[in-house]
Amino acid sequence: SQPLLQVRGLTVGYGRRLGRSSPVVRGIDLDVQRGEVLAIVGESGSGKSTAVRGIAQLLPATAGTVRFDGQDLTSLSRRELRAKRRDLQMIFQDPYSSLDPAMRILDSVGEPLRVHTSMDARERRTTVVEMLQAVGLREEHADRYPQEFSGGQRQRIAIARALILRPQLLIADEAVSALDVSTQNQVLRLLEDLIAELGIACLFITHDLGVVRDIADRVAVMYLGTVVEVGPTDEVFARPQHPYTQALLSAALIADPVVQRQRRRTKLEGDLPDPTNPPAGCLFHTRCPLVVDRCRTEVPLQRRSGGADVACHLVEPDPDADHDPADPET
């Protein structure tokens, strides 16, 4: 069946100098199935946030398509896009970005109902209170203002607002990163339970690989604005294939000596290159411990290998793969 979200060749740029914007996201492909959680991981500067802002049409795409629930979002008018937004909601690292400090919680959380439904004020209040209870808050909280709440409570409120219309897709960009660890865990559990219960698909950005392993069905690894590996979370964690994925996991697993011993250590040399002036060939070649000559000139295509799609010259594609990401017909 058709995925809920099908991103093809999405390119997003930032800043326009001399009439030209430099791409920060370079032609990425991603699918999210209905009800699925896809995590996007990668260093800061890898283009994760820009990619999801491009998907949500908060930043304009310079190329590519974003098919969501059967429609290409990049081709919609403002009005059509606004109507679509009820099915595509976002939460950010800083809950203040979705909560107006001058608005009572009742009005903030109820705003999507006012914009997208014909509910009257009483129905809205009932629905908001139910939603606040679902995120662990109480009825009397509806009449307070955002600054009266802790960071964790504010993020619960942002979640209530994002889910009140029962969207088909929730995009969460580092949604718990600003919270202390125990609050992070509580808010994550809550989010995980709610999206499972409501059958909401989720595109989840995080730098925390432990969180990925806990909640994501699949994981996409980004490097310099490209997806270098995407596959089922279990597969990617058990057998990372791209040298960058190996380095990322290897760095994160130092605290896990058992797993660490079984895995070849891959250490990352050097810094992330300037995203607006990336290297030729494989974008990872300046830091790759396995680099060979062709990597410096030839861009590796994504191929299906061992259940994942991997873009590296050294990865052997499955001989009997029923799906070749380089071939849209499969």
Question: What does the binding site for Mg ion look like in residue numbers (CB under 5 A)?
Answer: 49
For the record, the structure tokens of 12 come out as 């997003």
- Closest approach of Mg ion to the CB of residue 171, in Å: 12
Query: How crowded is residue 246: how many other Cβ atoms within 10 Å of its Cβ?
Result: 21
The item of Mg ion, ligand SF4, none sharing an interface with residue 284, based on CB under 5 to 8 Å by kind, is ligand SF4
> What six digits make up the tokens of 235?
């597969």
CB of 16 to Mg ion, least distance (A): 21
Q: Which does 222 bind (CB under 5 to 8 A by kind): ligand SF4, Mg ion, none?
A: none
Q: Which does 313 bind (CB under 5 to 8 A by kind): Mg ion, ligand SF4, none?
A: ligand SF4
* CB-based closest residue to Mg ion: 49
Closer of 49 and 241 to Mg ion (Cβ): 49
- Token readout for 199 is 């059958």
Select the binding partner of residue 26 from ligand SF4, Mg ion, none (C-beta < 5 to 8 A, by kind).
none
Nearer to Mg ion, 131 or 212 (CB): 212
Residues facing 302 on adjacent strands? 311
Under the rule (CB under 6 A), what is the footprint of ligand SF4? 242-243, 282, 284-285, 288, 290-292, 295, 300, 312-314
Find the shortest distance in angstroms from Cβ 267 to ligand SF4: 14
* Residue keyed to tokens 């995120």: 135
Residue 103 interacting partner from ligand SF4, Mg ion, none (CB closer than 5 to 8 Å by kind):
none
Range list of β-strands (E), the chain: 5-17, 20-32, 37-41, 61-68, 71-72, 88-91, 169-173, 201-205, 218-223, 226-232, 302-305, 308-311
Q: How far apart are CA 202 and CA 216, in angstroms?
A: 9
CB nearer to ligand SF4: give 124 or 313: 313
Which 8-state DSSP code applies to residue 302? Answer: E
- Taking the complex as a whole, the smallest distance from the CB of residue 174 to Mg ion amounts, in Å, to 6
Our CB check for ligand SF4 shows the closer of 161 and 285 to be 285
C-beta of 38: minimal distance to ligand SF4 in Å? Answer: 22
Q: Beta-strand (E) ranges in 200-307? A: 201-205, 218-223, 226-232, 302-305
CB of 53 to Mg ion, least distance (A): 9
Contact by Cβ (8 Å): 170, 91: yes
User: Which CB atom, from 237 or from 284, has the smaller least distance to ligand SF4?
Assistant: 284
For ligand SF4, which is the closer residue by CB, 58 or 292?
A: 292
- Checking DSSP bridges between strand 88-91 and strand 71-72, what pairing results, if any? unpaired
Decide: 294 and 288 in contact? Cβ < 8 Å: no
Q: Which is nearer to ligand SF4, 77 or 277 (CB)?
A: 277
**In the complex, what is the shortest distance from the CB of residue 50 to Mg ion, in angstroms, rounded to a whole number?**
8
**Shortest CA distance to 42 belongs to which of 207, 264, 256?**
207
